[in-house]
Amino acid sequence: MPTGQSSPPPRGAGKFAAIAAAIVAMIIIATFVGMNMQHAQTTREQESGQVKPADAPMTEKDLGKLPARPK
């Protein structure tokens, strides 16, 4: 019969918790480093004057010039 005292969790549970915490920390660190590397590459491309294909002008009207006003 139980005497009211709770038994400690098995040793495997503590080891599993430590491994799970380490994996989560590694995922967070990898995401942070990856985002910083991608941001650095984007910044380098912008400073060198390279334009992403998605941002490249497609027609004459995409060059950022105002349309000529009729007189």
Q: What is the pLDDT of residues 21-43, one digit of tens each?
A: 999 999 999 999 999 998 988 88
pLDDT at 35: 93
pTM for this predicted structure = 0.53
Average pLDDT over residues 4-8: 75
Instruction: Tell me which residue of 68, 64, 44 sits closest to 55, measured CA to CA.
Output: 64
Q: What is the pLDDT of residue 61?
A: 66
Taking the C-alpha atoms of residue 65 and residue 62, their distance in angstroms, rounded to an integer, is: 8
Q: Residues near 59 by Cβ (< 8 Å), separated by ≥ 6? A: none
The strand ranges marked E within the chain are: none
Please say if the pLDDT value at position 8 is more than 80: no
